[in-house]
Structures are given as structure tokens and as C-alpha cells.
Amino acid sequence: MSSQPQPSRRSRIDPFIVMDVMRAARERTEAGREVFHLEVGQPGTKAPGPVREAARRALNRDRLGYTDALGLPELRRAISKNYHDLYGVDVPMERIAVTTGSSAGFVLAFLAAFDAGGRIAMTNPGYPCYRQIASAFAMEPVMMETGPHSRWLPVPGDIERAAAGGLDGVIVASPANPTGAVLSDQELAELIGAARQAGAVYISDEIYHGLSYGAPAGTALAVSDDVIVINSFSKYFCMTGWRVGWMVLPEALIRPVERLAQNLYIAAPSLSQHAAIAAFEARDEMEAVKDIYARNRQILLNELPKAGLTDIVPAGGAFYLYADISRFSDDSLAFARRMLDETGVAATPGLDFDQVNGHNYMRFSFAGPTEEIEAAAERLKAWLPGQAL
Amino acid sequence: MSSQPQPSRRSRIDPFIVMDVMRAARERTEAGREVFHLEVGQPGTKAPGPVREAARRALNRDRLGYTDALGLPELRRAISKNYHDLYGVDVPMERIAVTTGSSAGFVLAFLAAFDAGGRIAMTNPGYPCYRQIASAFAMEPVMMETGPHSRWLPVPGDIERAAAGGLDGVIVASPANPTGAVLSDQELAELIGAARQAGAVYISDEIYHGLSYGAPAGTALAVSDDVIVINSFSKYFCMTGWRVGWMVLPEALIRPVERLAQNLYIAAPSLSQHAAIAAFEARDEMEAVKDIYARNRQILLNELPKAGLTDIVPAGGAFYLYADISRFSDDSLAFARRMLDETGVAATPGLDFDQVNGHNYMRFSFAGPTEEIEAAAERLKAWLPGQAL
């Protein structure tokens, strides 16, 4: 008699496909074959010098036990100061919760603000974990369709339409994943206004802040204190694997988030927290890294059209280009596998980000080393033309 | 008009009280006052030498990006080998998921195996996060009452009774928190049999494995492959703040857990994973640390009765004593505050672990330095007699 446990219905969420691509790429590397990593949204460089130095110091000096559930006071203070220095907004450290990456920020925001059945508006395409986390918690993602016509940005009318069926929350990233789309300050304020009008909590995903190639993205905190802001050291500060991020909370949600964090996480990793305190000293180093992304972005914007990928909105932030591949395939998952197999270029199928039109898109990350981006572009120029439908 | 967001109903879980005590203790320290830390369940010593050395190496060499959602293959392999070496059971690395501490293990186990409304049997008293996590996910904790009469251990009849209302899961820790209670191999096998009989998934919390002062606790994996085992590097290996643990999964739950982990966590902290690979080399160092706990335990078992705390079951594992304080107070929360305020001894109110009888109990952790335990015992001997009701 087998008594293998049955998986729950709620565990039948989609995989985060990019993680599966990442694993396939790793297996290919282990088999001694070349891989160009344009799949995963993480920098090719290490954490900045001051961060690694602070980590070394903490490793020598600190016991590295649990911290407060909301994080090391010094780190919360440094984040508060950064809001003052960088954006000119005053955010008391009491409203800042250090989290185990922005992943924990989404989990805590959703659990603190929404109950089972809660409806959360989000863009399609968008970061896939929003809808999967919502589904795992028996909440209902409400998709706001965006496209090249709207520069991949949602508009207040999208929130109004979503609110027709009742709406509890809105989550929008700017700069956005997978498209790099950036809201203007005016557009951001209008979305926050529409969410307030609808009685929905606005969650501003600012994880790609700092990574803009035109006007910088504004923080939702300049518009309202009643929003939830989610950010992280992962992207701009090149600290993906360190799993340390933060939330800024409205007063009413501080204690609910603290209780949930105590029970679900205990605390974010101590060493990463100690190290992250030093991150804000590394702005010059990070701006130099951003210059590399800007160069890589330009390489892809020049070369991908030559390979036949002519339909790309050259969006202004993050480190992604979202390319229409419909001339080559209407199955981005199969296309990604074939591309990895035949060229060594790993990229992420649009299906990860958009269940409606994602079969026609691929996301190319340009966060890796320039030589890798260049080599990948060459491979694609040689391979893609033979793939036309 | 205030538009402060309303907290969700599900966020109205209890705080993890020990975290609040920890914060009060930290604030007292910052105010320059002495604190004896018998509150939090974490070792007073740093992570072992090989772990810190491996962390230094990873810090210098590795990019520290995201790992596979289920963890670094080398770490999964090392954990698999440890099951062979330590318990003589063969667990393929494919069934091992590295998690962000055991906290993530509970979250992933509950989400992968249970839906909203799912009923999970657990002991009272027990680790409070079990029931709070279940509540946050709209599942239903079903309490199995234990007491000094049963040496704080559940029996098969408790599972049968819980199953009368339908039962989806059972979670039991051995050694247990807050009581230190340890199941014999026979008792463990009987509980697993009763869970199977009831059609419930058995989750074995083995986080305190390695910390036994009599016969070692057996692993549920020696009994069945269809259980979920949760463990961590936090306790035995003194790595609480590193947030790295693991689960062993039945085949049917591997992919569900992987999908959930990809979306909710991305991956456990990379540096901690690299470091943890070296933990199993540090058994001698850890056994020496355990000798300190054994000494501390004996000090408290000798001295607390002299202070008037005569009702303590001298349980065989973990690093806790669970003491009946009913001669002094019927409000353990107020008692804990007063004790911290008047003696500097921080300990955890039983209310954290037991909502029925916890007002009559306090948990004393003996994981700290021996001098601290000795000093705390002296303070209590001077203070407690004056508190008798």
C-alpha cells in the first residue's frame, strides 16, 4: 500500500519557469557545455566591496543570532536615512521592516493586508510570483492587460475596471519586470489615486529602483504614507543570494507584519543584514555597474533587431528587454529550450510573465558581463534567421 | 480622511511572544542594564570554525547569486550523506530541500500538503509558530493536550481523538519545544502509524536532533518514507541567524515544494548554504558545545528547585526547562515582564506555547554561557521566594 501524501490544491501553482531554465542551464554547464546567461534577473557581479568587508567583520565579531523580526535597528536606520538622502522623503525607521528578500515582502504584504478571496490587481505581463503567491494563499489575482501600445504600463482605467468586481489591493512594479517599463511621477500618483478611490491598498514594488536609463523612477512614498513599498538589496546592490530586502509600511500594518514575520520567518539572515548596512556607502561602485548594464542594453537594442527581433519596446529601467518572438515561434517554452540546446543562450519564456500572450515573447536579461551579452547576440544572429516560421 | 489600510483578519495571529521578550531585553541592554538571556532558543556560541571558514571562502570566491530553489546540490548531497552516516538511513539527495531555516520548512510543508480548512494536530504546549502559521494560511490547528502526567508527550490516542473531526496532518517535535520531551523510537513509530491510520500526513520536527541528554531521538525516516521531516542547522550547529535548514520530502511532494519555494523564497541564503556544507565536519566541536548545555541543564535542575520552582519534568532533549510557576503567578506574561524588570532575567512566558495552561508556566532556555545561567539562577533564588502567592 502506498500512502504517498497528496499535494494540496493550492500547491498546484505554476513553477517560476525562470528557475527551471536556470537549472537546465546549470546542468548544461555541468555537462561541460557553454552557457550564456540571459535568463535570470541577477547581476553578474559580486556584492560591492564595503558589503563584503562588513560581512567579513560580522563573521569575525558577531554571534550571528536572530535579530528582531523587523530587522537590525542600524539597518532600519540606514534605510530610513537613504530615503531622506536619495528621495528627500522622511520615513521613520519604525515603519521599515527588513525582510528575507523582496520575496518575503510580498508574502508579508499579502498576508497582512488581504484575506482568503482577496482580489489583487496586477499587470499582465508582470512578475509571476505575485500571482502564484496570491494563489497559494487562496487570493485572487486580477490581471490588468498591458502591451506595447501602453508602453507596458497600467493606467488608472485598468484599476477602475478591476475594481468593478471589488478590489482589495493593487501591486505595480516600476521599473517593471519583464518589460523594464517605468512610470512617470504623474502616472504613479494617478495609479495610487485610483487605488485609493477603489478602496484598495497600493503596493509599490520598487526593487529595480536605481536602475533607470532615462528619468529615475519616483517612490510611492513621495505620494502617500498609506501605501506599502517593497524593495531589496538584490538588484541595484548586486546582492540577490543574500536574501535581504525591506518594506515600508503604513502605521496600521506595522504590528500585523511584525507578528507574521516573527512566526513565518523569525528574522532575515543576520550576516546579510550586517553586510547590507554598508551597501549605501557603495553608490559610486553601483553606478559604475549600472553603466555596464546601460552598455549591455545598448548592445542588445542594436543587435537583436539584426537577428530579426525587431519588436522590442526599449523600456527605461531594470535589466530586461521583452522581445516579441512571434515571427519565430508561438511556443516560447519550446523556443527557450531549443535556443538553449542549439546556441547555449539561456533566456526566459514570456509564459512565465504572461499566461495570455507570453507564448509570443522572450525576456532577455542584460545584467551579465558584457562579453557574455555580446557573444549571446552573435549566437542569436547566426541562429535566429533559420528559425523564422 | 485617513485611508490607513485595514489589517487582514488572518494577520490577527498572536505575536511570537519570545520575540517580544527578546526586544524588551535588547532595549534594556541598550539602556545600560544587565540582562541574563534565558529567553530565546538560540545557542550562546558562534557557528563552528569550519562553517565560518567556509563562509569566508565563499565570500571571497563566490558571486553569491540565487541557488536552485531546492538548494545547492553539494549541500543536499552532504545532508543525504549525514543521514547515512548518523542514522544509517538512505535518503537520496533528490528528496532533500534546503530551506530558509526550519521556518520555511513549516510554511512549505503546510502549503504543499494542506488546503484552506485543513486540520493539523499538534501538541499543547508546543512550538507556537505551528499554530500561527496554520492560522495565517486559514488552516485549523487541532490541539493534543499533553502534561507532566504524559511526560509532555502525545500518544496515538490523541491522534485518534483529533481524527474524529477529520484530520489532514500531524506535526510533532522530538525533542520538543518548550518541554524538551523526547519520543522513544517505539513511541515515534506508533504516532506515525496512528497518523497513517487517520489518513494524515506526519510531519516530524527534528530541529533539536543531536541535543539529547539521554537516549538520542530517532528520525521518522527510519520508520517511513512517506513522512515530512524538518530540520535545521540553527540549533545543534549554532547557526540560528544564518537561516538555513532542510526538509526531507516524500516523492509526491518534491515538485509541489519546489514550485512553492521558487515563488515564495526563490532560494535560501547562498552564503549560509555554502557555509553549511562544512557543518557536518564540526561534530566534535558541537559535542563539546552540547556538554556545556548538559552542564547548564544540571545547574538549573539543581538550583531552580531551591528558588521554589520544584515542578519541572527533567526532559531529555533540546535546551529548555519548562517550569510550573503557579505558586508565584497565574499570569506568566506579567510574571515574565516583572522578572525581567526586577532581576534582569529574561525568560519566555508559557503563554507562547500553550493558550490553555501556559499562564502557569515559564520556559527557561539553557543554551547560553554557563556564567549567565549561574548568575540567573542566583538572581532567581534571591527574588522568587518574595513572589510566592
Q: What is the 3-state secondary structure (H, E, C) of A304-354?
A: HHHHCCCCECCCCECCEEEEECCCCCCCHHHHHHHHHHHHCEECEEHHHCC
Gap from A255 CA to chain B (nearest CA, Å) = 9
Does residue B4 belong to any structural domain of this protein?
no
Supply B60's cell numbers: 571571497
In a shared domain, residues B197 and B291: no
What is the predicted pLDDT for the residue at B255? 94
What is the predicted pLDDT for the residue at A264? 97
User: Are the C-beta atoms of B335 and B21 separated by less than 8 Å?
Assistant: no
Tally of domains in chain A = 2
SS3 A159: helix
User: Which amino acid makes up residue A316?
Assistant: G
**Chain B residues in contact with A207 (beta carbon < 8 A):** none
pLDDT at A229 over 70: yes
Provide mean pLDDT across the span A348-376.
95
SS3 B2: coil
Please provide the average confidence, as pLDDT, over all residues in chain A.
Answer: 95
What is the predicted pLDDT for the residue at B249? 98
In a shared domain, residues A20 and A57: no
A23, A266, A269 ranked by CB distance to B269: nearest: A269
Please identify among residues 24-83 of chain A the ones whose CB lies closer than 8 Å to any CB of chain B.
Answer: 26, 40, 42-47, 52, 55-56, 59, 62-69
What is the predicted pLDDT for the residue at B91? 98
Gap from A351 CA to chain B (nearest CA, Å) = 15
Per-residue confidence at A209, pLDDT binned at 50, 70, 90?
very high
Does residue B313 belong to any structural domain of this protein?
yes
Q: Read off the pLDDT of residues A135-170 as tens digits, 9 standing for 90 and up.
A: 999 999 999 999 999 999 999 999 999 999 899 999
Provide mean pLDDT across the span A89-112.
98
Best B6, B11, B140 member to test A by mutation, with max A CBs in 10 Å, is: B11
Asked if A42's CB is within 8 angstroms of B253's CB, the reply is: no
Q: Read off the pLDDT of residues A193-204 as tens digits, 9 standing for 90 and up.
A: 999 999 999 999
Q: What residues form DSSP beta bridges with B312?
A: B323
Q: Respond yes or no on whether the N-terminal peptide bond of residue A178 is cis (omega within 30° of 0).
A: yes
Asked if B107's CB is within 8 angstroms of A251's CB, the reply is: no
Supply A271's cell numbers: 550576516
Gap from A300 CA to chain B (nearest CA, Å) = 23
Residue B296's domain spans which residues?
9-46+283-387
B226, B239, B268 ranked by CB distance to A3: nearest: B226
Provide mean pLDDT across the span A351-379.
95
In a shared domain, residues B349 and B263: no
**Chain A residues in contact with B253 (beta carbon < 8 A):** 5, 7
What is the predicted pLDDT for the residue at A19? 79
Q: What is the pLDDT along chain B (389 residues), one digit of tens a residue?
A: 347 889 998 888 877 788 788 888 989 999 999 999 999 888 989 999 999 999 999 999 999 999 999 999 999 999 999 999 999 999 999 999 999 999 999 999 999 999 999 999 999 999 999 999 999 999 999 999 999 999 999 999 999 999 998 999 999 999 999 999 999 999 999 999 999 999 999 999 999 999 999 999 999 999 999 999 999 999 999 999 999 999 999 999 999 999 999 999 999 999 999 999 999 999 999 999 999 999 999 999 999 999 999 999 887 999 999 999 999 999 999 999 999 999 999 999 999 999 999 999 999 999 999 999 999 999 999 999 999 88
Asked if A65's CB is within 8 angstroms of B40's CB, the reply is: yes
Range list of β-strands (E), B224-375: 228-232, 245-248, 320-324, 345-346, 348-349, 361-365
**What span, in angstroms and rounded, lies between the C-alpha atoms of A289 and A281?**
14
What DSSP assignment string belongs to B176-207?
Answer: -TTT-----HHHHHHHHHHHHHTT-EEEEE-T
Does residue B378 belong to any structural domain of this protein?
yes
Best A66, A75, A235 member to test B by mutation, with max B CBs in 10 Å, is: A66
User: Are the C-beta atoms of B95 and B143 separated by less than 8 Å?
Assistant: no
Q: B169-173 and B119-124 as β-strands: parallel, antiparallel, unpaired?
A: parallel
Provide mean pLDDT across the span A283-312.
96
Is A196 within 8 Å of chain B by CB? yes
In a shared domain, residues B162 and B200: yes
What is the predicted pLDDT for the residue at B138? 92
Measured between alpha carbons, how far is residue B344 from residues A180, B304, B352 in Å? Answer: 53, 16, 20
The CATH number assigned to the domain holding A18 equals 3.40.640.10
Does residue A3 belong to any structural domain of this protein?
no
Asked if B253's CB is within 8 angstroms of A10's CB, the reply is: no
Does residue A1 belong to any structural domain of this protein?
no
In a shared domain, residues A251 and A334: no
In a shared domain, residues B197 and B276: yes
**What span, in angstroms and rounded, lies between the C-alpha atoms of B103 and B230?**
9
Gap from B388 CA to chain A (nearest CA, Å) = 33
Question: Which among B263, B281, B299 is the end of a domain?
Answer: B281
Rounded to a whole number of angstroms, the CA Rg of chain A reads 21
Does residue B226 belong to any structural domain of this protein?
yes
Does residue B84 belong to any structural domain of this protein?
yes
B64, B259, B266 ranked by CB distance to A15: nearest: B259
Is A270 within 8 Å of chain B by CB? yes
Q: Is the dihedral of CA A14, A191, A324, A377 positive or negative?
A: negative
What is the predicted pLDDT for the residue at B1? 38
Asked if A5's CB is within 8 angstroms of B260's CB, the reply is: no
What is the predicted pLDDT for the residue at B19? 79
A11, A129, A262 ranked by CB distance to B15: nearest: A262
Asked if B263's CB is within 8 angstroms of A133's CB, the reply is: yes
In a shared domain, residues B125 and B67: yes
**Chain B residues in contact with A241 (beta carbon < 8 A):** 63-67, 267, 269-271
Question: Which among B281, B302, B321 is the end of a domain?
Answer: B281
Gap from B92 CA to chain A (nearest CA, Å) = 16
In a shared domain, residues A40 and A120: no
Question: Which among B281, B310, B326 is the end of a domain?
Answer: B281
Supply A237's cell numbers: 546592490
| Sequence-distant (≥ 6) Cβ neighbours of residue A125 within 8 angstroms | A146, A152, A178, A179, A322, A350, A353, A354, A357, A358, A361
Does residue A347 belong to any structural domain of this protein?
yes
Please identify among residues 200-239 of chain B the ones whose CB lies closer than 8 Å to any CB of chain A.
Answer: 201, 226, 228, 239
In a shared domain, residues A115 and A201: yes
Asked if B114's CB is within 8 angstroms of A196's CB, the reply is: no
In a shared domain, residues B364 and B318: yes
**What span, in angstroms and rounded, lies between the C-alpha atoms of B118 and A115?**
16
- Within 10 angstroms of residue B337's Cβ, the number of other Cβ atoms is 15
Best A1, A2, A8, A75 member to test B by mutation, with max B CBs in 10 Å, is: A8
In a shared domain, residues A125 and A236: yes
In a shared domain, residues A261 and A371: no
What is the predicted pLDDT for the residue at A23? 84
Which residue in chain A has the smallest CA separation from B101? A265
Of A36-45, A316-325, B166-175, B369-378, the range with the lowest mean pLDDT is A36-45
What is the predicted pLDDT for the residue at A1? 38
Which residue in chain A has the smallest CA separation from B56? A56
Is B10 within 8 Å of chain A by CB? yes
A42, A115, A201 ranked by CB distance to B5: nearest: A201
**Chain B residues in contact with A3 (beta carbon < 8 A):** 196, 226
